[in-house]
């Protein structure tokens, strides 16, 4: 499902397709009406894409959304026309959103963890504000660190060798967490870069180490599945503590 890496790839694609061009937005489902503007910039903030000109089109993919070159099949909810080219906002479960604002308000979002390489002290300072809870739900709090979702939190903690159930207040391996986060986000963006991303929840292959696996991709030990604040957690008891 779309998280920071996938939205980063979306923004790179939209920048390549739309930036500097007169773009007509054909609204088929969202209720914001047809629009037109010259796109001056496309950028990511947390898990949303911002298409900017004399106004801002805010694209939130959520569970099943994607923007791809137009094609006959697919559940198209909006279409971006740029000259002879067009690109579809597809969304099979209709959970995504597309809105129009004069200025995107990101005052409730924390700082970005990537592409700047944050060190352990930065992560410790940001997450210490989350109180005494377990580390995985704390990683997902958007007001502390913007852009990390459930999959990224599971995979980053696996890479760092940290149990998702460890209390944030007892964590000492901040350098390992910092290194794992930067490595995971950088590698995922590199690996998934394409005109269309195939999500695991839409039948795509599982590229992850523990997420939705029964056995650890590194050591082969059984992967434990649990629930933390209504979200699935996956961890390897042999690799994480």
Catalytic residues: 2-3, 47, 231
For 96-164, strand residue ranges (E) read: 97-101
Q: Across the strands, what pairs with 225?
A: 234
Determine the Cα–Cα distance for residues 4 and 45; give it in Å rounded to an integer: 9
| 54 DSSP 8-state letter | S
Q: Which helix (H) or strand (E) holds 157?
A: helix 150-160
Q: What angle do CA 16, 184, 206 make, to 5 degrees?
A: 85
Q: Are strands 65-69 and 76-82 parallel, antiparallel or unpaired?
A: unpaired
Task: Give the torsion through C-alpha atoms of 165, 169, 172, 177, to 10 deg.
Answer: 60
| 211 DSSP 8-state letter | T
Distances (CA, A) of 86 to 45, 67, 68, 203: 24, 10, 9, 25
| 177 DSSP 8-state letter | H
Q: Which helix (H) or strand (E) holds 154?
A: helix 150-160
């Amino acid at each position: 499902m779309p998280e920071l890496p996938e939205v980063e790839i979306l923004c790179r694609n939209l920048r390549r397709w739309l930036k500097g061009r007169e773009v007509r937005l054909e609204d088929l489902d969202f209720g914001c009406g047809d629009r037109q503007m010259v796109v001056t910039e496309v950028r990511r903030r947390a898990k949303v894409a911002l298409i900017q000109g004399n106004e801002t089109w805010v694209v939130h993919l959520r569970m099943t959304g994607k923007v791809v070159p137009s094609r006959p099949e697919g559940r198209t909810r909006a279409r971006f026309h740029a000259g002879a080219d067009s690109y579809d906002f597809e969304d099979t479960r209709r959970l995504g959103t597309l809105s129009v604002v004069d200025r995107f308000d990101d005052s409730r979002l924390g700082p970005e963890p990537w592409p700047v390489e944050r060190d352990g002290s930065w992560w410790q300072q940001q997450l210490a504000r989350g109180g005494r809870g377990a580390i995985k739900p704390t990683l997902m709090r958007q007001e502390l660190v913007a852009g990390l979702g459930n999959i990224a939190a599971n995979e980053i903690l696996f890479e760092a060798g940290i149990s998702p159930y460890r209390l944030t207040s007892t964590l000492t391996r901040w350098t390992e967490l910092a290194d794992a986060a930067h490595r995971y986000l950088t590698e995922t963006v590199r690996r998934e870069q394409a005109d269309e991303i195939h999500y695991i929840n839409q039948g795509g292959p599982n590229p992850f180490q523990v997420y939705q696996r029964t056995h650890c991709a590194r050591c082969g030990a059984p992967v434990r599945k649990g629930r933390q604040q209504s979200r699935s957690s996956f961890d390897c008891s042999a690799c994480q503590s």
